[in-house]
Each structure stands twice: as structure tokens, then as C-alpha cells.
Amino acid sequence: MAVLVLAEKPSVSQAIAAALGVKGKKDGYIEGNGYIISWCVGHLVGLANADNYEARYSRWAREDLPILPDPWKFTVSPGTKKQFGIIKSLMGRADVTELVEATDVG
């Protein structure tokens, strides 16, 4: 069983790892002592553009407002695709039984 800890950035992950005695560096995370510590790199995902819902929204028109999609769609930010994939993979591991969000809240 492992606890997955998601931190705001690599430096915070390293500080958490040091406090927990975790030393096993991997690609995109640190693992050991029953912990897997990974990090975000800025905003991993963002809201999809309006034209991802309907092509007509590619040009703004007053009569289309407000646009209130249900459900909301998200897209992975181009610069964070690799780390997003690592975190997604870690979250899907069979040995992960808990997730701790150690990121900024605001």
C-alpha cells in the first residue's frame, strides 16, 4: 500500500520527501517508505475553449451568451503533458490507497 502525495512543485516535493525519509528518485516522482511523491508544474489542465463544445463558438456572438456547458471540458496544458501523464499513471497504480493534495489552495 502506498500514499500518493501531490505537491505544488518539485522543490516542495523534495522537502516533503526529506521530511518522510523518501529517497528513491524516479522520472517525475520520488518513491520509498510507502510514499510516492509527485508534483505539478504550473496548471496541469485548463478549461477548454468555447469552440471545443461547438464549432459556432469559434466566433463570438452576443446571441450565444452565456455559454454554460454541461459538463465542463478540460484540456491538458501543452507544457505539462508529460507530468500530467506521470501523475495519471501514479493515480491508477493498484498499490495507491490514499491521495494527499499538498498544493496551494488558491
DSSP labels, 8-76: SSHHHHHHHHHHHT--EE-SSEEEETTEEEEE--S-SEEEPPGGGT-GGGGS--GGG-S---SS--EEE
**What's the rounded Cα separation, in Å, for the pair 28 and 13?**
10
- Of 17, 18, 29, 75, the residue nearest 50 (C-alpha): 75
Longest dimension (CA), the chain: 58
Statement: residue 74 has pLDDT above 70: yes
Averaged pLDDT, 5-9: 97
Does residue 90 carry a pLDDT above 80? yes
Higher-scoring residue by pLDDT: 90, 43? 90
CATH T-level assignment (fold) for domain 1-42+79-106: Rossmann fold (3.40.50)
What residue segments make up the domains of the chain, in order of their start?
1-42+79-106, 43-76
What is the structure's pLDDT at 106? 63
Binning pLDDT at 50, 70 and 90, where does residue 105 land?
confident
Is the predicted pLDDT of residue 6 greater than 80, yes or no? yes
pTM: 0.84
